[in-house]
Structure 1
Amino acid sequence: MSDTVFNPRNSLSSDEVVTLTRQHNYGTWRYQKSWKPLHIVDAEGCTFTDASGKQYLDFSAQLMCSNLGHKNQAVIRAIGEQAQKLAYIMPSYATDARAELSRLLLDVLPDGLTKFFFATSGTEANEAAFKIARMYTGKTKIIARYRSYHGSTMASIAATGDPRRWAMEPGGKGQGFLFAPEVHCYKCPIKHTYPGCGIACADYLEHMIENESDVAAVLVEPVVGTNGVLVPPPEYLPRLREICNRHGVLLIADEVMSGWGRTGEWFAVNHWGVKPDILVTAKGITSAYVPLGLCATTQTIADYFEDHFFAHGHTYEAHPITLGPAIAAIGEMQRLGLVARAKEMGAYLGEKLHALKLKHPSIGEVRGLGLFWAVDLVRDQQKKTPFNTKQDKVDGKPTVVDQVAAECMKNGVSLQAWISHFVIAPPLIIEKSQIDAAVEVFDRALTIADQAL
């Protein structure tokens, strides 16, 4: 075998990189004609850098996943060390990384979650959760909610409430997924007012369970992510847990985005003392340095499969190179005290964003928990009318939030926009001075929305 080292071509100009990417790759969740990808060459801490040398403050942690920020050296070293030690072995074998990560997860996951399936993304972890719930209960239907996102593979997109599901219809009903109203007190979908409603959205969900023949599980993001950082009132999740218990239905918590300190707790369910039967997570588990998803179940569910066939698996399950960095990422979160820091810095960020609401008539609501916030834009604060609709997004129409986000990007701040709101979720290592700088840019950009009223 030759000792010659392959050196890939590295002399492409920035224009060539962008052109080749655009011509031969699909841009996700968009019309391809509008995709003009920016060439990124570096990232460190809370910033990333384009090919011209311009830096951007990463105010949404990419896709709400880079919780440790960029270039954390402990995680980077763990990737290389694991690659040198054991780059791959099929999932029927035990490895040091698998055992050590399992031990650490018992310390940081909500109590009672003791058996793990390692995937390579949040959507794959959700697919595992659906299969486990159906195998364990012998039932088929899973109730999700309309303002939700659970992934892009076939079952996960069928379980997604937002318009990204529409292109795959009738996938939801065909795969046994039903949709309940989301919990959204700012603009309640069933026209109730909290607290006098008595948590009617939970009662509605129980009504669905009572009128369906074979509900296996209820699937919720404890704090809804992309679809608006919807923080439930304190009674909601405990009520939902009680409803599921009473009807023999499993509760699946999708913490792909809300986990790993994002909300000021290791996992969002901890805010309300709720223990799910199955918890799904990804993103922050490695700070997105390598792709890893996790499906965790109770021991009760695990015991069932001692004498029943576990009908799931794939080539990259428990891939060693994904597990080693997760060990390092958990260690770094503990060393840096990032769960407590998210709570502290989140309070500071929240004050800044609430101050913007007093200043800008285009802001309908500011809501959040920890370092996980949303800012809703509206045409009319009294009527709570959004600038754009779900159909606008599907039809590829320009949205006001996209215009505001583009102005922020022009001025060195990257933040995620979706239909009629922004998701603001910076790395958990962010400093107050960086929050101040980003909010100042956002403040100026919001004049675009004010002028559109």
Structure 2
Amino acid sequence: MSTESTLTTQEVVDITRTTNYGTWRFQKGWNPMHIVDAKDCTITDAAGKTYLDFSSQLMCMNLGHKNEAVIASIAKQAQDLAYAMPGYATTARAELSKLLLEVLPKGLNKFFFTTSGTDANEAAFKIARMYTGKTKIIARYRSYHGSTSGSIAATGDPRRWAMEPRGKQQGVIFAPEVNCFRCPIKHTYPQCGIACADYLEHMIRNESDVAAVLVEPIVGTNGVLVPPDEYMPKLRKICDEYGVLLIADEVMTGWGRTGKWFAMEHWGVTPDILTTAKGITSAYVPLGLCATSEKIGDFFQDHYFAHGHTYEAHPMTLAPGTATINEMKRLNLVERAADFAPYVQERLEAIKAKHPSVGDVRGKGLFWAVDLVKNRTTREPFNTYADKVSGKPLLVDQIAGKCLAEGVIIQAWVSHFVIAPPLIVTKEELDHGLDMLDKHLAIADALVEADAPLVVVEVASSVTSDS
């Protein structure tokens, strides 16, 4: 019996938009593309048109599409053991746990498996509070940690606003983000002495009951904000001094994306808790991970671990995690991301020099942002989040739409683009994607304020190393 669908493309789109919610958007006007196939760094729509997937969908398909080893691992696990409740040991669980000990920062050796990054963060918050006996989590503005109750409460960007005051009830307070291009506390690096970390220390001293500080090592969707090299070591020292746990949300920055297995390795800092998802299976199946230090693991030998869910350590999610790690090693993808970084930076710096609408470019490995401004002197963006939630058309969406029409999919968010192709990307594909962005930035250039000088703005955080 044939299993091929009889639905037309129009029926697929109509059913989807009338019965499903489109995320983070007004539902009116949603017209989703019907995708029917994908391979390596491309996806194909129902009309047969092929697109370069220049942001790995949602910065998650690090291996690209249709990796045969990962697909085979899913099929085999389904045949061997489709499900076992979390209280059992399984081969899939042991094999992935063994590999994690090899690739995670040393000292993180106790694992709780989830089905998403937001679930991993929920687990981290509960573990931190159980371990410390304290309540408050310090997160940062310009952050995103997930959409469930606790993780959206810890999200610094305005997506949190729709569920306030629930966030305040969750015991989360916010510190300034690390953003040397638009410093929220009006300092200039390096003369500032890493004032944003000092501000966070001030908060800890003047708040009671702080259990943990939560950071994205490199902020993801909200701008690929790379901290100065001194920031993470200083933050680690502050947390240690005050007995506060450090949680690193590596949902987006993990799994080779920045040229290291995990971004915290760039600064030689090991967090007390690391959360991750996305690239752990290259998004082939939903899997998240909350990894803790040995001292936290030891604590629960004699203290009740009050957390769990039906799909924790689901065998169907774990087997492709093992396959993904093995494929990343076989293909040397971590090293590949690091090797491509200088070339991508060179290309983006040239684009910035050419286009007055580009205020900053920044990133590590194969994880970069192109930040648009209407005026390089004031660094004022063309749009803000208020424009997005009001339904005002965004300039970045217009540019991304032009790229899409010519076969390149690039993620745009409010006032910047996120460039994060699969780690298997070729130089030719990189050039194609960057050429397309270069071409359509002329739309933004035409809207730049007349007095904005066409000069390269020197921003210390823009030029990064992979050390």
**TM-score, normalized by length of structure 1?**
0.98
The correspondence of residues 44-443 of structure 1 with structure 2, limited to 5 A, is: 44-443=39-438
Q: Distance in 2 between matches of 1:127 and 1:48?
A: 32
Distance in 1 (CA, whole Å) between partners of 2:382 and 2:169 is 33
Deviations, residues 223-276 of structure 1 (Å, cap 9, x unaligned): 000000000000000000000000000000000000000000000000000010
Equivalent residues of 1:264, 1:343 under 8 A apart: yes
Amino acid of the structure 1 residue aligned with 2:8: S
Distance in 1, Cα, partners of 2:447 & 2:79: 56
Residue-by-residue CA offset, 1:79-102 (whole Å, 9 max, x unaligned): 000000000010000000100100
Match of 1:13 among 8, 11, 22: 8
- Identity in percent: 71
Rounded to whole Å, the distance in 2 between the matches of 1:431 and 1:247 is: 46
Which AA in structure 2 matches 1:13?
A: T
Name the CA distance, whole Å, in 1 between partners of 2:388 and 2:214. Answer: 25
List per-residue Cα deviations over 1:200-241 (Å, max 9, x = no partner).
000000000001110000000000000000000000000000
- Quick one: which amino acid aligns to residue 156 of structure 1? S
Equivalent AA in structure 2 for residue 384 of structure 1: R
Q: Which runs of 4+ in 1 moved over 4 A?
A: none
Supply the distance in 2 between the matched residues of 1:347 and 1:427 (Cα, whole angstroms).
17
**Secondary structure at the counterpart of residue 257 of structure 1:** coil
Give the residue type in structure 2 aligned to 1:250. L
Aligned length: 448
Moved more, 278-287 or 346-355: 346-355
Instruction: Give per-residue Cα distances to partners, 1:124-173, cap 9 Å, x unaligned.
Output: 00000000000000000000000100000000000000111110111221
Residue of structure 2 in register with 1:36 after alignment: 31
Q: Which residue identity lines up with residue 85 of structure 2 in the other structure?
A: M
Q: Which shifted more, 278-287 or 168-177?
A: 168-177
**SS, match of residue 373 in structure 2:** strand
Distance across 1 between alignment mates of 2:274 and 2:76 = 29
TM-score (norm 2): 0.95
- Give 3-state SS (helix, strand or coil) of 1:186's partner: coil
Q: Tell me if structure 2 keeps the 8 A contact 1:117–1:317.
A: yes
Render the CA deviation track for 1:347-372: whole Å, top value 9, x for unaligned.
21221111100110000000000000
- Determine the C-alpha separation between the residues in 2 that align with 1:423 and 1:368: 10
Residues 259 and 281 in structure 1, CA contact (< 8 A), matched pair in contact too: yes
CA distance in 2, matches of 1:260, 1:281: 9
Counterparts of 1:179 and 1:395, CA distance in 2: 25
Gaps of 5+ in 2: 449-467
CA distance in 1 between counterparts of 2:57 and 2:444 reads 23
Q: Secondary structure at the match of 1:251?
A: strand
Unaligned runs of 5+ in 1: none
